[in-house]
Amino acid sequence: MTQHHGMKQLGGMSAHCKPGHEPQEEDRFGRMFHLPPSYVPADVLKHVGKAGGPMDDKGKPSRTKTVPVGHVFFGQFVDHDITLDVSSSFSRVNEPSEIENVRTPTLDLDCVYGSGPEPHPFLYDQANGPMKGVRLLTGADQKGGGVQKFDLLRNPQGTAVIGDPRNDENRIVSQIQLGMINFHNHVAETLRTEAYNENPKRDLKGHDLFVEARRTTTWHYQWGVVNDFLVAMCGEAVVKDILACGRQYYCPLVPHIPIEFAVAAYRFGHSMAPMKIQVQNKGKHFELFSKELGNGFSPVPSKDAVVDMREIFFVPTKSGTQTAETLDTLMASELLALPFITNDENSLATRNLLRGNSFLLPGGDKIAEKMGRPEDEIAKVMKKIHHLSKGEITEGAPLWLYLLAEGEVVGRETSPGKFDKGEGLGPVGARIVAEVMIGLLELDEESYLGANRNWTPRAEWDDIGKIMLAVNPSLFD
């Protein structure tokens, strides 16, 4: 590579030195770190991730103290808002800049709004009146009543009529989708009433009301992502540092999803997902893949399957909310033998590890070195991985596995210098996840961090639990 003014030779980068390595548009994936790729033989990865293997919790789950279980599924909802890869495969090498991201890489709730009331009128109330083209429809708008009013809008075949069909793949994320729809409707009603109270001659309705309600809803959601979700999963110390001092590693010209985030770091929730969840006060603990919670893409089967958000999110009026599993190198046995995959690799852990190989991800220890993490810290994480792999992995650890081990042996930096093991992502994982999330907002001129950095939320809607409970119809009040 010829050197010119402002350029220098990139060592060890032959695998990545190809045209189009950097994303030119928002609809492509990219890379966050320009480091040589790691390779671990597939048989080693399959040993680590197999059912009954070293990552199998064997029915002995452990809970965090500070992360509500709802955040694990809210993280899934956020993922569906910013990324969808339908073309990559872990059976071939994938070039990120050639992989299309079918979602917009912005936290704009297009999974709720679709493309808006004109392109997608079927999502919105079309009855004449001030809420025409403003209010989003739910199951409560369908004839029949009963448990329908606690469900999403569905067509005659039971398919959810929503902006992203993936948000119906399990009952909890489906109910979070319903909660966000209801929150928008509540915001719209609130803004219209307040506009009238301020000036009875002002009739806020239609397009103007929709635009204002969508912005208000979306900004409160974004605030919750940063100040509630990221603080819980990444630690307040890291989030505050990025907001105060800026991003160090995710600095693109256009917003895009780095594969270090999509393929590894943001899959941390697989370790934190419990297999039994109580969704109602004093109710049964249902298996995640049960007909009540896991029978996705279908109507709510009974009142037992309706989620009381106070059971899965922290709210001021409720104690005893179920917390997530600890972030560590263990996963629920059911996730290592997925019941709905019968003709392919069915261990979620193995799939994650193989996918890292296919995307030419750098080793987690190499990224940690790039970030300047202490040698003894990296050695401690690698010791854990060395044990899991029966001595096969000595360096160039799979990034996803490294970040799980880091959460287990180092822990989340809850406050400056205070690390809580198992409570969330360690220093490397937290930095990747928080920088990408905050960066996507800062690069979006429509977000609160891109449009009005002095904006603050209303106190009654300033975290995810409050948003979910704003008007979520409840069987329990």
Flag whether pLDDT at 7 surpasses 80.
no
pTM: 0.93
Does the structure show a pLDDT above 80 at 12? no
Tell me: pLDDT of 114 over 80. yes
Ramachandran class of 123: left when φ > 0, alpha when ψ lies in -120 to 50, beta otherwise: alpha
> What whole-number percentage of the chain has pLDDT above 90?
81
Position of tokens 């990559």? 88
Q: Residue 18 pLDDT > 60, yes or no?
A: no
Give the pLDDT band of residue 104 (cuts 50, 70, 90).
confident
Provide the percentage of residues in the chain whose pLDDT is more than 70: 94
Does residue 357 carry a pLDDT above 90?
Answer: yes
229, pLDDT greater than 90:
yes
Per-residue confidence (pLDDT) for residue 14, from 0 to 100: 44
Give the residue among 149, 151, 150, 131 at the shortest CA–CA distance from 213: 131
Average pLDDT score over residue span 6-17: 42
Least confident of 80-84, 143-147, 285-289, 439-443: 143-147
- pLDDT tens, 257-315? 999 999 999 999 999 999 899 999 989 999 988 888 887 899 999 999 999 999 999 99
- Of the candidates 334, 85, 81, 115, the one whose C-alpha atom is nearest the C-alpha of residue 229 is 81
> Given a cut of 50, is residue 191 above it in pLDDT?
yes
In this predicted structure, the answer to whether residue 3 has a pLDDT above a threshold of 50 is: no
In this predicted structure, what is the pLDDT of residue 9? 40
**Per-residue confidence band for 473, with pLDDT thresholds at 50, 70 and 90:** low
Q: What are the tens digits of pLDDT across the range 151-164?
A: 999 999 999 999 99
Instruction: Find which of 96-100, 214-218, 298-302, 344-348 is predicted with most confidence, using mean pLDDT.
Output: 214-218
Q: Picking from 180-184, 226-230, 293-297, which range would have the lowest pLDDT averaged per residue?
A: 293-297
Query: Given a cut of 70, is residue 112 above it in pLDDT?
Result: yes
Specify the residue for token string 């279980």. Answer: 69
- Mean pLDDT, the chain, integer: 92
Q: Which residue has the tokens 């793949």?
A: 169
What pLDDT sits at residue 19?
Answer: 40
